[in-house]
Amino acid sequence: MILMRLFVAIAPSPVALDELEAATMPLREAWPQLRWTDRPAWHITLAFLGEVDEQAAARLGSQLADAARLRPALGLSVAGSGAFPGPARANVLWAGIAGDLTGLGGLSADVVKGARQAGAPPPDDGRGFKPHLTLARCRAPADVSSLAGALAGYAGTPWAAAEIHLIRSLLAARPRYEVIGTWPLCGPPAGRAQADS
């Protein structure tokens, strides 16, 4: 049985990525001890699915298409920063997400439900959805308070997130990501369904 390491995500716009790259470049140089993620790895994970077998992966497509069809494009932006589990003893430094967080949370819940129905339940289901972009990982817990503080006021240009992606993670010295499916968000704009009824 072949297993694939999968997750479902939204990709920020090229403009959002350009701006974030410019904002983090001086910080990277000042903190070489962190494992900084590369621009191609920046995404908003809706659901991490872990190791998924071929049969469940094949069923995922229709479930993700259904989840996307129900939701409209989302207005999002990269804003602020933080760390997991906290800035004083961090394992991960992240950039936050602002905008339609209610819609984003609903989309994540729909994706998780679809993954469960396809036989690929997320291993971290129930932990709560915290939208973010991972900027760096710490080899050992580190105090990144000054880094998180330097990015706390960051506010990028908003963009319309209009599709979701099923992505395969290929682990190596640097993880590599391969998009294996994309579905457009094509639900009615928020408030439209009530207005039309």
- The pLDDT, as a whole number, for residue 197 is 35
Q: Examine residue 144 and state whether it is found in any structural domain, yes or no.
A: yes
Note whether residue 104 is domain-resident: yes
Q: What is the pLDDT of residue 45?
A: 96
CATH for 26: 3.90.1140.10
pLDDT, tens only, 101-136? 999 999 999 999 999 999 998 887 767 899 999 999
Q: Specify if 197 maps to a domain.
A: no
Sheet holding 132-142, edge to edge: 35-36, 132-142, 90-99, 74-84, 159-161
When divided into structural domains, the chain yields a total of 1
- For the chain, which ranges sit under pLDDT 50? 192-197
Q: Is residue 21 part of a domain?
A: yes
> Could you tell me if residue 175 is inside a domain?
yes
Instruction: List CB contacts of 38: < 8 A, sequence separation 6 or more.
Output: 174
For 23, other C-beta atoms within 10 Å of its C-beta total 17
Q: Which amino acid is at 66?
A: D
Residue 115 located in a structural domain: yes
In a domain, 172, yes or no: yes
Whole-number Cα distances in Å, 53 to 35, 120, 140: 30, 8, 32
Residue 188: per-residue pLDDT: 77
Which residues constitute the domain of residue 9? 3-190
Is the model's pTM score more than 0.85?
yes
Query: How far apart are alpha carbons 39 and 18 in whole angstroms?
Result: 9
Distance of alpha carbon 37 from alpha carbon 90, whole angstroms: 15
133 is a domain residue:
yes
